[in-house]
Amino acid sequence: MKVAILGATGAVGREMMKILAERNFPVDELHLLASQRSVGQQLPWKGEKLAVELACDEAFQGMDIVLGAAENDIAQRFAPAIVKAGAVFVDNSSAFRLDPNVPLVVPEISPEDAKKHQGIIASPNCTTIISLVAINALAKTSPIESIVASSYQATSGAGAAGPVELMKQVDALRSGHQPEIRVFQHQIAFNVIPQIGGDAYMGYTSEEMKLQNEGRKILHMPEMKVSCTCVRVPVVRSHSVSLLVRTRDKITVEQARQLIANAPGCRLVDDLANKSYPMPLDTSDQDLVFVGRIREDLTSENGLNIWCCGDQVRKGAATNAVQIAQLLVK
């Protein structure tokens, strides 16, 4: 296998390298592609150093799989060259997620969709992945009619500069100085910011609409309704999501616990009496979605309230893309 990573020097690109090695992905050649300013930079790979190469149309010749870890405009710029070269583009940006000709894949949920690709496979938004992995077993038992979600998203979701800004602001405030605000709209230290993304639809942000738009496509439930609020919180890594899931048929709490405990990609952590529930610190730097606080909703007959956490850099991005590549190898 000849594999390239487009956007290899970013946080997700570096994580892709780490996960390819962890999972013993059959890589004969790995090419690290980035912009001109990163060319020649050395990145560690299996005890060696690989030099970053220039991302250009010619760089994709001979590649089998290209993992995309770049922004939308870069993905759109190079997608035609990748497909023309005969490689499969597994893209982590949002550029192609809602394209009807591009499958949107979470391997634990929709592996068969990967076979329908025409050269491009999209990996969903991180919060969408974490949420749907947590509730997929419920969706298979009874169609989901609606979801009310609130996400508590870590600063690293804004890139490597996010946690740096959080730490710098904490240090500044502790020493009595005014914190500098660059990455986020407002001070993130000791604060929460109820906006991720720009205004997209009736006061909902672009990030908030992804769970409905992408969720419908992944679950093949075009009528599913989702109301979502996305909040940036002063956490370094791992997103948390509160979900009120309303199903067509009633699923009891005990049924839900059993279904989720046996679901691929999930770990049931649900023991309120012993203070055991999913938390960002426990779910960082691993690939399972932890699910807990499962209880009947008090406002709807067929509703369940669920709390889940997952590492948005790994399962929410890099790992999901590598898992898709593993499907292609199979």
Tens of pLDDT along 205-216? 999 999 999 999
The answer for 181, left when phi > 0, alpha when psi is -120 to 50, beta otherwise, is beta
The answer for 119, left when phi > 0, alpha when psi is -120 to 50, beta otherwise, is left
Query: CATH topology for 2-123+317-329?
Result: Rossmann fold (3.40.50)
C-alpha–C-alpha distance, residues 236 and 238, integer Å? 7
C-alpha–C-alpha distance, residues 295 and 273, integer Å? 14
Over residues 210-269, the pLDDT tens digits come to 999 999 999 999 999 999 999 999 999 999 999 999 999 999 999 999 999 999 999 999
Evaluate whether 130 touches 153 at the Cβ level (below 8 Å).
no
Q: pLDDT-based confidence at 330, cuts 50/70/90? A: confident
| pLDDT score of 44 | 94
Residues designated as active site:
126, 239
Classify domain 128-313 by CATH number. Answer: 3.30.360.10
pTM for the model stands at: 0.96
Percent share of the chain, pLDDT over 70: 100
CATH 3.40.50.720 domain range(s) in the chain:
2-123+317-329
CATH 3.30.360.10 domain range(s) in the chain:
128-313
- 70 pLDDT more than 90: yes
